[in-house]
Amino acid sequence: MPLSEFQLIARYFESLAPASPEHGVVLGIGDDAAILQLPPGEDLLVSIDTLVSGVHFPPTLSPRAIGHRALAVNLSDLAAMGARPLWFTLALTLPDANEAWLAAFAEGLGTLARSSGIALVGGDTTRGPLSITIQVHGAVARGTALRRDGARPGDDLWVTGRPGLSALGLRRLQAGVPDEDPACAVFVWPEPRLAFGRALVGLATAAIDVSDGLLADAGHIAERSGCAIEIEATRLPLAEGLAALGREDALALCLAGGDDYELCFTAPPSAAPSVDAAAARLGLPCRRIGRVTEGHGARCAGYSPPTTGFQHFGGSTDA
């Protein structure tokens, strides 16, 4: 007997739904809507992302990695705003109720949900080509969220981690390296920078998570903030695996590879010691890679992008 929608939810997803008052969940999965209470004095942040098989991840990616990724890319948006994760909803479209697939998917999703302290509060389950939509809800003290529009001329530009390693991992995956190989890990298991994002509240003037590619995403900060961003190629934190590719390819992956889920942010030079201290405390590499100036657009001297960032409907980003 195939699983009914209700059995499927009860078996695989209800354990991700701690309906405890400390999570602010008055009523979780099972009714027509969830009832949620935001802590007093906080702003609610909401973000949604869909992953379509074959578009956002290779169809061969393991279900455990798909479950992780679907939540990770959403948590990364909360990280970029400095928010604390609270709740998520899950809209799942599946070709069939394959139990082995569901168990592995729920394990990947659940492990990250538990370690990030986010509770599943509802969703929708439908049949069709594999696609996963997650909406996350988070909170920050009122008025303190990190936004894209606060960069000012004179600020420094920073990035966490090793941008480009994810694109390199995807390239290896597409060349047939299995997804459990550590060489693909940065692509397969993106780590949302939640703790670091929260540490940036009060330090960063603007922030974004790197999903389209470092240069394109820096361009989004520039555009929203009404200024220009200059990235210095010599300051880019090229990982060893990238540097081995040769300068041009390494720069392209680092600046336009995408799917990094690192944080790119601006901060006044006076904040640099605090940024360094937060990075050291969290054991996360973080590098000053450029600066904010008058003007518009983001550029990196010595690198000319063929196209900046991935666009589902064509066109090019104004970076």
| Least spacing, CB of residue 34 vs Mg ion, in Å | 12
The option from ligand ADP, Mg ion, none interacting with 145 (CB < 5 to 8 A, set by class) reads none
> Which residue, chain included where needed, has tokens 């705003």?
81
What phi and psi values does residue 107 have, to the nearest 5 degrees?
-70, -45
Distance CA 67, CA 65 (A): 5
Neighbour count for residue 122 (Cβ, 10 Å): 22
User: Which of these segments, 119-127, 162-170, 251-259, 263-271, binds ligand ADP (CB under 6 A)?
Assistant: 119-127
Query: Which phi-psi region, left, alpha or beta, contains residue 164 (left: φ > 0; alpha: ψ -120 to 50)?
Result: left
| Least spacing, CB of residue 92 vs ligand ADP, in Å | 4
What phi and psi values does residue 18 have, to the nearest 5 degrees?
-70, 105
Residue 210 binds ligand ADP, judged by CB under 6 A: no
Which residue of 62, 93, 98, 125 would you call a contact of ligand ADP, by CB under 6 A? 125
Instruction: Report the residue closest to Mg ion, judged by CB.
Output: 32
How many residues lie near ligand ADP (CB under 6 A)? 13
The option from ligand ADP, Mg ion, none interacting with 92 (CB < 5 to 8 A, set by class) reads ligand ADP
What are the Cα distances from residue 286, in Å, to 24, 148, 179, 304?
A: 33, 19, 27, 24
Residue 32 binds Mg ion, judged by CB under 5 A: yes
Distance CA 214, CA 38 (A): 33
User: Which of these segments, 98-106, 123-131, 179-187, 256-264, binds ligand ADP (CB under 6 A)?
Assistant: 123-131
Complex with ligand ADP: residue 9 or 157, whichever CB lies closer: 9
